[in-house]
Amino acid sequence: MPDHGTLEQFLAGAHVDDAVFALRPDYRAMLLAVDGLADGPSGRAGEALLLAAEAAAHETLRGRSVEQIPNVAAWREAYRAFGAKPQRTRNSLEALLRRAASGLPRVNRLTDLYNAVSVLHQIPIGGEDLTRYSGPPRLVRAAGTEPFDTVADGTGVIEHPDPGEVIWCDNAGVTCRRWNWRQARRTQLRDDTTAALFILDALDPITDEALAAAADDLTAQLTLLGPRVRAARRLIAA
């Protein structure tokens, strides 16, 4: 894992700012760092997990709308707390649940795995290429000047978050906007990614036990992706 020391050292540098906990004292971040992943395309195991997640989403939504799901409603409230409009910028869990009926996206094997686990456990999850990080991950409220590397109309552009927006970032800029809404192009997972960081976000009513179970599930799936896979985790709470 070049430039970051051990997985444990990388996670030790992660930080959630007090201003974020002031918005949601119940927030917890489970960080899962993994290396030793063998590169390669998506396979049958990932497809099977996505199909299971689509079926689970169908059952979850039986007889109710997406916004009525308690875990989705909690994130809608969190978005409103820093000025975002959840009906326009949906948290990643809500976005996946809304797509499940017509089929979850098939992106690459790492993204497919964490998307499926996100839906199965109803917890927002993000994943990034750890080797593309510049310094440790931090969750802060934006100044509004931080660079965000993204795509608009098929073209790469640099945007900036709104002042006060909750963002994940490193020394080079934003890695994910609006807590868990949209990830940067710079650190996105690829078929050749061999070391990754996964961020599992929790608000009440998700318990610490449920959060740990989701991390366990994701870790178990990742350990199947190579004989030398190694993982470390860290829970950050107020």
Per-residue model confidence as pLDDT tens digits over 111-137: 999 999 999 999 999 999 999 999 999
Contacts of 216 (CB under 8 A, 6+ apart): none
Instruction: List, in order of start, the domains of the chain with CATH numbers.
Output: 7-237 (3.50.40.10)
**How many CB atoms are closer than 10 A to CB 63?**
5
When pLDDT is cut at 50, 70 and 90, the band that residue 210 belongs to is very high
Helix boundaries (H) for 13-91 = 18-23, 44-60, 70-81
Residue 24 has pLDDT above 80, yes or no: yes
When pLDDT is cut at 50, 70 and 90, the band that residue 89 belongs to is very high
User: pLDDT tens across 153-198, in order?
Assistant: 889 999 999 999 999 999 999 999 999 999 999 999 999 999 999 9
pLDDT of residue 41: 76
**Mean confidence (pLDDT) of the chain:** 95
Peptide bond into 205 cis (omega under 30): yes
User: pLDDT tens across 30-42, in order?
Assistant: 999 999 998 777 7
pLDDT of residue 235: 98
Sheet holding 28-35, edge to edge: 125-129, 195-202, 28-35, 230-237
pLDDT of residue 44: 83
Residue 2 has pLDDT above 90, yes or no: no
- Percent of the chain residues past pLDDT 90, beyond the cut: 92
When pLDDT is cut at 50, 70 and 90, the band that residue 110 belongs to is very high
Place of tokens 């000047």: 145
Residue 3 has pLDDT above 80, yes or no: no
